[in-house]
Structure 1
Amino acid sequence: MKYLIVGLGNIGAEYADTRHNIGFNVLDALAGASNIAFTTDRYGAVAELRHKGRTLVLLKPSTYMNLSGKAVRYWLDREKIERENLLVVVDDIALPFGTLRMRTRGSAGGHNGLKSICELLGTEDYARIRFGIGGDFARGQQVDYVLGQWTEEERRLLPDRLKVFGDAILSFACVGAERTMNLFNKK
């Protein structure tokens, strides 16, 4: 079985440690814990993780957030991966910091990366894990907050949360979306 695990973010040093790049951070932590490295390929950085007889293709798109669908569609086709085996990791300002919320379908909810994926796949039916980044910003300051750096407290808590998200990704590949939601949506 093959899976495409996509961590959304923006390329470039100016975005490296921002809240919007949490998808990249989750995949980096999972790759690091598995002793695998990303290589640059078409439309992104890619790594292949083998876990319990499954192959997980980890993708950090290089298309910028609002064009993520192009990379996702390309890699699904290239690797011949069914849409049911697609999982997208994305930031969410509507959830408190570190909250994990997995769904098997749903709207983009104003997230340009998810919007691009929905448009290019022609459906909202694919799994996604939302990483809560909180919404502690003044009115009109959403962009600055999302593209801003983590607080010291968030930075301290981040490693533990990244591990939980990595475990949820491995669970998705091993036991499926429904069971993973039951196990991890409360964490």
Structure 2
Amino acid sequence: MKCIVGLGNPGRKYKDTRHNVGFMVIDELLQRHQWELNKKKFSGKYAMEHISMEKVILLKPQTFMNLSGESIRPLMDYYNIAVEDVLVIYDDLDLPTGKIRLRQKGGHGGHNGIRSTIDHLGTKEFKRMRIGVGRPTTPIPVVDYVLASFSKEQQEDVIMSIKQSADACEYWLQNSFLEVMNEYNN
């Protein structure tokens, strides 16, 4: 069984913000397969389904970003999901809007959702997909920037990156993560 986790903040207030691109990828996968997040447990909402003969859980932690690991770890423990079968999707300021990057492991890079995940999993060695949201071009605090919606100029790139990220998730269910990285890290 594999687990795809989209990081974000719950609630309408945060729905279309830069910090919620992880949630947006989960929403894209749900829409493609006509599924719903029909389970509530482990401080999260999730769906357990099959894609391409692979059992998969799609998880949206409901803990708010900075406590994401508090949702991921209990779900992994309950379903006996190995850390190598987890993919965490999140926003990245250091990538231009619309770019995606996949990695097999790494640090938190200042991202509090990933920091919490590392703390709760007890390892930095889990798969991740970073989706670029760019850096602010005006003097605005980073917190305000990531909690704001994408600009009109960014919309097309964001939509493309969400679709590409969902494609990469589906590809991972049939291929090794190294193959996914080779295909989508270009």
TM-score bracket, shorter-length normalisation: over 0.9
Aligned to 1:53: 53
CA distance in 1, matches of 2:114, 2:38: 24
Aligned to 1:6: 5
CA separation of 1:157 and 1:140: change in aligned 2, threshold 3 A: closer
Deviation of the 1:155 alpha carbon: 2.1
CA displacement 1:7-35 (0-9 Å, x = unmatched) = 00001111111000000001001110111
- Contact 2:97–2:157 under 8 Å retained in 1: no
TM-score, normalization by structure 2: 0.95
Aligned to 1:92: 92
CA distance in 2, matches of 1:85, 1:25: 21
Instruction: Single out whichever of 168-177 and 138-147 deviates more from structure 2.
Output: 138-147
Aligned to 1:127: 127
- Contact 1:31–1:49 under 8 Å retained in 2: no
CA displacement 1:49-103 (0-9 Å, x = unmatched) = 3112101100000011111001110111111111100000000000000101000
CA distance in 2, matches of 1:125, 1:181: 15
Aligned to 2:15: 16
Aligned to 1:81: 81
Report whether the alignment pairs 1:34 with 2:33. Answer: yes
- Contact 1:5–1:87 under 8 Å retained in 2: yes
SS in 1 for 2:173: helix
Report whether the alignment pairs 1:150 with 2:150. Answer: yes
SS in 2 for 1:110: coil
Percentage identity across paired residues of the two chains = 37
Aligned residues: CA RMSD: 1.2
SS in 1 for 2:77: helix
SS in 1 for 2:66: helix
What amino acid sits opposite 2:7 in the alignment?
L
Question: How many residue pairs end up in the alignment?
Answer: 185
TM-score, normalization by structure 1: 0.95
Unaligned runs of 5+ in 1: none
